[in-house]
Amino acid sequence: MTDLLDPPASLPPVQDAPAPSAARPPINRRLPAHPVVAIVGATGAVGIELIESLTARDFPVARLKLLASARSAGLRLPFRGREIVVEELTEDSFEGVDVAFFSAGATISRRFVPLAVKAGAVVVDNSSAFRMDPGVPLIVPEVNAPAMAAHEGIIANPNCVAAILTVALAPLAQAARIRRLNVATYQAASGAGAAAMEELRAATGAYLDGQPFTPKVLPHPYAFNFFSHNADVDPDTGYNGEEDKVVAETRRIMGRPDLPVGITCIRVPVLRAHGMAVNVEFDRPISLEEARQLIGVAPGLRLVDDRVGNHFPMPVEATGQEAVLVGRLREDLGDPSGRSLALFIVGDQLLKGAALNAVQIAETLLPR
């Protein structure tokens, strides 16, 4: 995702916090009942969704600090009926903070997350900075919540595709061991940040008006087009960085370091919900009825599988929804053993793929 230099929204400093003490406080593995919350990158696409998710889920915020770059400091963002002024992110921003959500890019996270932890905060980081660090739990609460019990102050929020994919696979994986995954993604503009979303809007308007449009955020024309994900491609393997992330993080979240995963990631002209066509091979046959039952009762999922009405998961219905939509369940005709299923998954990239998952992680740390 993009960082705190995204759309205008930053709060002016409320007070200059005292410099953190040299002695590091003990790690707070759980949060107080009403924590002081900070959001780093508050004015970006995910930052805005974090604010809204805290409200929607009635997270018990004692005080909210919104942090962003100097150019956004002084802006005001709404939160629960009032406006909060965005502060400039500094090294002293985390004094008194209990939980800090970071969504400002890996460079900012590498610099400021250790300072937040040193000041006593638990950090939920949405960047790629710590996701593959063996000492940092990578968490989707419906899948591997127990893994966060031994955190050392940092919990990583996964790549958006990995989060949406694994929450959909979790109930099936609990019923039968997955032997192989093959995934094709249809990824929305929001995964490239607010600027990419605006470029899609502008490009679409220009296309409909018959006007020329030169893309600046993404490398190819976006309106009425789709293309290989814009992450850099490894010239030796042919896989891009997004595909590498999804494979590595899916394996880690599911506790399956050797799980065979094939993947192709595509950027499509949708604003904020990712789709995935998934083929799963299990160690035993799973009937369609069993799969529907497992998905239908699993937390975080909604079964959308109406063959008669030809109604299956769609971005237009997943947008703004906490639940990940799963459907188009079929036996894989390419596997005569009967152990493979095909399904289609759609989830809001800014919610379960980012902000919602982060807030759910923090909820898990609240007193029971």
Which positions are annotated as active-site residues? 160, 274
Measuring CA to CA, which residue among 287, 288, 280 is closest to residue 305? Answer: 288
57 SS3 class: coil
What are the structure tokens assigned to 126, written together?
């949405």
Q: What is the distance between the alpha carbons of residues 146 and 138, in angstroms, rounded to a whole number?
A: 11
Q: Is 167:276 a contact under the CB 8 Å cutoff? A: no
What are the structure tokens assigned to 14, written together?
């409320």
- Residue appearing with tokens 């995964």: 191
44: which residues sit within 8 A by CB, 6+ positions away?
Answer: 1, 2, 3, 4, 5, 6, 7, 68, 103, 104, 193, 194
Measuring CA to CA, which residue among 79, 86, 32, 11 is closest to residue 362? Answer: 32
Altogether, the residues listed in the chain come to a count of 368
